[in-house]
Amino acid sequence: MKFTSFLIGLGAGAAVAMLFAPRSGEETRELIAKNAKKGRRYAEHRIRDFRDMTSDAIEAGREMASGAVEFGRDVAMETVERGRDALNRQKSAVASAVKAAKETYEAEASS
């Protein structure tokens, strides 16, 4: 938006200057051509800057996304590992309870 406003202001200022300048037609045309070249160079420079900024932003976004994926993968693996540990503890507890119940039953049955 600022760039567009700048170009509009530049064009309007150049047009007003041309209307009130006491120059010949050839001088005025040369001045217009000179200012147009300056404007074009400025626009090309700003476009290059914008492309560079955009490329940098895209690269930063890719790096952030990659980091987020790695973090998510690590969290998921840790969660799976904790789930396995909890399952193994539960299996062990159930096996111990079954063994204790079986021993108690056999002790009661033999008395």
Q: Where are the alpha helices (DSSP H) in 1-111?
A: 2-20, 25-110
Q: pTM of the predicted model, to two decimals? A: 0.47
Q: Do 21 and 28 form a contact (C-beta atoms < 8 A)?
A: yes
Tens-digit pLDDT profile for residues 25-52: 788 788 888 988 998 898 899 999 999 9
Within 8 A by CB and 6+ apart from 46, the residues are 3
Average pLDDT of the chain to the nearest whole number: 87
Q: Report pLDDT digits (tens) over 8-31.
A: 777 777 777 766 767 677 887 888
